[in-house]
Structure 1
Amino acid sequence: MSAGLEVDDAVRALLLLMPRMAGRIKRIKVPGELQSFALAPRHLSLLSYLVFDGPMTVNDLAGRLEVAPATVSLMIGDLGRKGILERREDDHDRRRRIVSITERHRPAIDEWLARGATAWQNALRPLTAEQRRMFIDTLLAYERGVADA
């Protein structure tokens, strides 16, 4: 097992690591059939929820993305016009609309997300459930700290 790090040494390591990670993430190639859609990171988060959790309502997506339903509606409208997403009536409540990825673009979106998902699986698999929770909580605390600054 590797030796622990003092806080300042860990901060230094992370300040050097994070820009490299961000650069590598930005270089993940968008599949050819999706390149013309000018997808942004906010779209990737929305699409990730639909891939991992399945079709859901605008309000459910808004809650998970921590943004207003109106913001999600605009994103869904944009992706819907591009043929990436579709809205359908909820069979149980006709007033609600369920959002899903179209079958036509599902394979390309799965491919786009697969590299990151596989990298995270490989990185997290050796950790215990408690260590994974601590890692995610630490990243969330960092995100809040940066947002508050």
Structure 2
Amino acid sequence: MSTPKAGADGDERGVDDAVRALLLLMPRMVGRVKRIPLPEALRSFDLAPRHLSLLSYLLFDGPMTVNELAGRLEVAPTTVSLMVGELNRQGILERREDEADRRRRIIAIAPDQQPAIAGWLAPGAAAWRTALTPLTPEQRRMFVDTLLAYEAAVTADGR
């Protein structure tokens, strides 16, 4: 940060201080998240970060179709279908017919895996609730938008 550029409000020092704080904070946060132990019941499965997002949606929002999951995960339905097939074969997820349209399949966490997955994801959800609850809805939206902008900027840099 040898040559700071002034922002619209001329507060380049404040931006640099925030960037410095985040550059120090992010590795600690990532390190802590990586150290969250996988519950014993899930250790025999080959779960990857892509599975975490899928399982989070199903845990917090309930059963849904492959197309609904694909829309939320912002990936192609074929990608979700492959993940669901893999997790279904391992007994983590279950597929059932949609009573309203028998051509569609509803995806859900297998009941016997629900407690382990909830236990695995609950501490992170509780920490986010603690951090976000004091904020106004507008502040929460700004926080999420800022993280999304950071992700887009890092992605644009090819990282």
Normalised by the length of structure 2, the TM-score is: 0.89
Partner of 1:125: 133
Instruction: Give the deviation of 1:136 after TM superposition.
Output: 0.6
Q: How does 1:86-105 map to 2 (within 5 A)?
A: 86-105=94-113
Q: Secondary structure in 1 aligned to 2:101?
A: coil
Cα-to-partner distance string for 1:98-120 (whole Å, 9 max, x where unaligned)? 00000000000000000000100
Q: Secondary structure in 2 aligned to 1:141?
A: helix
Instruction: Give the deviation of 1:128 after TM superposition.
Output: 1.1
One-letter amino acid matched to 1:81:
R
Report the structure, 1 or 2, having the larger helix content: 1
Partner of 1:19: 27
> Could you tell me which of 136, 141, 146 is aligned with 2:149?
141
> Could you tell me which of 19, 29, 46 is aligned with 2:54?
46
In structure 1, stretches of 5+ residues that fail to align are none
> Could you tell me which of 26, 29, 32 is aligned with 2:37?
29
One-letter amino acid matched to 1:28:
I
Distance 1:102 1:135 in 2: 33
Q: Secondary structure in 2 aligned to 1:30?
A: coil
Instruction: Give the deviation of 1:38 after TM superposition.
Output: 1.8
Distance 1:8 1:54 in 2: 41
Distance 1:103 1:133 in 2: 33
Distance 2:94 2:23 in 1: 40
1:106 aligns with 2:123: no
Larger Rg, first or second structure (1 or 2): 2
Q: Secondary structure in 1 aligned to 2:145?
A: helix
Instruction: Give the deviation of 1:21 after TM superposition.
Output: 0.5
One-letter amino acid matched to 2:129:
Q
Distance 1:61 1:147 in 2: 22
Q: Secondary structure in 2 aligned to 1:62?
A: helix
Distance 2:86 2:19 in 1: 39
Partner of 2:18: 10
Distance 1:143 1:45 in 2: 16
Normalised by the length of structure 1, the TM-score is: 0.95
